[in-house]
Amino acid sequence: MSIAYQLSFVRSTLPEDVTLVAVSKTHPVEAIREAYDAGHRIFGESRPQELREKYEVLPKDIEWHMIGHLQTNKVKYIAPFVTLIHSVDSARLAETIQREAAKCGRTIEILLEVRVAEEETKSGWEMDELMHYLGSAPFALMPNVCVRGLMGIATNTDDGEAVRRDFQVLKRNFDTLQPNFGPRFNILSMGMSHDYPIAVECGSTMVRVGSLIFGERDYTK
Ligand SMILES: *Cc1c(COP(=O)(O)O)cnc(C)c1O
C-alpha cells in the first residue's frame, strides 16, 4: 500500500480533534515527501542530527516534532526550528532547552515525558519526582519554554488491558498536573501504531504513528 493510502487510512480512524504525528525516523526524505504531497505536515523524528538533515532539505512549512530520547548536548541541532519536543524527561534537559531557545530568540514548546510502562528501559519522569520538581516552580523561571502537556509510552505487550491501564494512568496524571499550567497545557501525546486506538479511547489528543504509515523500519541501513 502507498504511504498516501496508509496515511488516509490512519486519519480515517481518528477523531478530528486528535493530531496525527507521522513518525518518519529511519525513512528517507522521499517517503516524507510522499506524505507531504498527500497533504500531511506534522512529522516526528527521534534523532537530532537526522531531524536536522531532513529539516534542511524539506519544505519549511513542515512541523517537526522530536519524539525520542534527547541528550542535552544535541538540543542545539534542533532548537532553531523544532515545533514540539515530546521527550523532556529531566530537569537538566528542560534547563538546556531554555538556554538554547533563548539563544535563538524563540519559545520552544515541550511535553513532559512520564514513565508508566513496566519496562525499566523506558525513560521519563516518575510522577513523584515531577511533582517535587514542579513544587520548586522551575517552569515559571523558564520564559523560553512552554509546557504544553504530557507524553507517555505504554508497556509493550499484547495484553490490551495492561496497555489501557498505562494510558489511564497517563490521563490521570495529565488531569492532576493541568491546574499547575493553565489552558495551554492541552496536549496528551500517547499511542503508537499498535496501540493508538486504545490511547484515543483513554483521552489521547496526539498520536505518534510510524510503521503503520511508512512500513517497518530497517535499523541496519
Ligand atoms: C518510533 C516511535 C514511535 C512510532 O512507533 P510505531 O510503532 O512505528 O508507530 C512513537 N513514539 C516514539 C516515542 C517512538 O520512538
Show the cell assigned to 192: 503508537
Any ligand 1 atom below 6 A from CB of 27: no
The pick from 24, 208, 213 for probing ligand 1's pocket by mutation, whose C-beta has the most ligand atoms within 8 angstroms, reads: 208
Ligand 1 atom with least separation from CA of 217: 8
pLDDT of residue 221: 57
In a domain, 173, yes or no: yes
Domain count, the chain: 1
- Domain limits at 167? 3-214
Ligand 1 atom with least separation from CA of 25: 1
The residue behind cell 523500519 is: 217
Question: Ligand 1 mean position to 11 CA, how many Å?
Answer: 16
Taking only the tens place, the pLDDT of each residue in 51-98 is: 999 999 999 999 999 999 999 999 999 999 999 999 999 999 999 999
In a domain, 220, yes or no: no
In a domain, 206, yes or no: yes
Any ligand 1 atom below 6 A from CB of 192: yes
Any ligand 1 atom below 6 A from CB of 68: yes
Distances in Å between the Cα of 188 and the Cα atoms of 113, 172, 193, 196 are 10, 11, 16, 12
- CATH number where 172 lies: 3.20.20.10
In a domain, 221, yes or no: no
Distance CA 194, CA 156 (A): 9
Residue nearest to atom 7 of ligand 1 (CA): 193
User: Burial of 221 by CB count in 10 Å (0-12 exposed, 13-18 middle, 19+ buried)?
Assistant: exposed
In a domain, 58, yes or no: yes
Any ligand 1 atom below 6 A from CB of 85: no
In a domain, 219, yes or no: no
Strand partners, 206: 19, 189
Average pLDDT over residues 14-19: 98
pLDDT band of 122, cuts 50, 70, 90: confident
Any ligand 1 atom below 6 A from CB of 210: yes
pTM above 0.85, yes or no: yes
Taking only the tens place, the pLDDT of each residue in 167-203 is: 999 999 999 999 989 899 999 999 999 999 999 999 9
Any ligand 1 atom below 6 A from CB of 24: no
Distances in Å between the Cα of 17 and the Cα atoms of 63, 64, 188, 219 are 17, 19, 12, 33
Average pLDDT over residues 103-116: 97
Any ligand 1 atom below 6 A from CB of 209: yes
pLDDT of residue 127: 93
Quick one: which of 196, 145, 141, 134 has its CA closest to 167? 196
pLDDT of residue 117: 82
**By three-state DSSP, how is residue 165 classified?**
helix
Question: Ligand 1 mean position to 208 CA, how many Å?
Answer: 6
pLDDT band of 99, cuts 50, 70, 90: very high
Taking only the tens place, the pLDDT of each residue in 125-155 is: 999 999 999 988 888 899 999 999 999 999 9
Q: Are 115 and 126 in contact (CB under 8 A)?
A: yes
In a domain, 20, yes or no: yes
